[in-house]
Structure 1
Amino acid sequence: MKHCPVSLEAFACTSAYWIFLSELIIHSATCITPPTEPDTPRVVNGVEARPNSWPWQISLQYGRNGDCRHTCGGALIATSWVMTAAHCIDLNLNYRVVVGKYDLAEAEPSAKAYFPARKGIIVHKHYNPVLLWPNIVTLSDQVQLACVPAPRTILSNHYPCYITGWGRLTSESPVPRPLQQALMPVVNHETCTQSDWWGVSIRSSMVCAGGDRVGDSGGPLNCKNSAGVWELHGIAGFVSGNGCNYIKKPSVFARVSD
Structure 2
Amino acid sequence: MGCDKGLLVAAALLALVVPGESITGGGEAVAHSRPYMASLQIPKNGKMTHECGGFLVADQWVMSAAHCFVSGTEGMNVVLGAHSLNDPEESKQTFNILQAYSHSDFSLSNYDNDIALVKLDRPIVASESVKLVKFQREGANDPDKDKEVNTAGWGSLNNLGSRPDKLQEVVIAVMDRVKCGRSDYYGKKFTDNMLCAAKTRADTCDGDSGGPLLFNDVVVGITSNGGKKCGSSKKPGLYTIISHYTQWIDRIMAQ
| Coarse TM-score class (shorter-chain normalised) | 0.7 to 0.9
Partners in 2 of 1:170 and 1:218 — Cα distance?
18
TM-score (norm 1): 0.76
Partner residue of 2:211?
219
1:236 aligns with 2:223: yes
What is the percent sequence identity of the aligned residues?
A: 28
Q: Is the 8 A contact 2:65 2:223 kept in 1?
A: yes
Q: Is the 8 A contact 1:159 1:185 kept in 2?
A: yes
1:80 aligns with 2:57: no
Q: Residue deviations 1:143-181, cap 9 Å, x none? A: 511111131532111111112001112112511111000
RMSD: 2.2
Structure 2 SS opposite 1:53: coil
Partners in 1 of 2:203 and 2:89 — Cα distance?
26
- Greater length-normalized contact order (CA 8 Å, ≥ 6 residues apart): 2
Of 232, 236, 242, the match for 1:256:
242
Gaps of 5+ in 2: 12-24, 245-255
1:193 aligns with 2:181: yes
Partner residue of 1:121?
100
1:245 aligns with 2:228: no
Count of residues in correspondence between the two structures:
216
Structure 2 SS opposite 1:190: helix
Q: Residue deviations 1:111-164, cap 9 Å, x none? A: 1101112xx123433343232321110023235111111315321111111120
Partner residue of 1:105?
86
TM-score (norm 2): 0.77
Q: How does 1:85-100 map to 2 (within 5 A)?
A: 85-89=65-69, 90-91=71-72, 93-100=74-81
1:141 aligns with 2:123: yes
Partners in 2 of 1:178 and 1:65 — Cα distance?
20
Moved over 6 A (4+): none
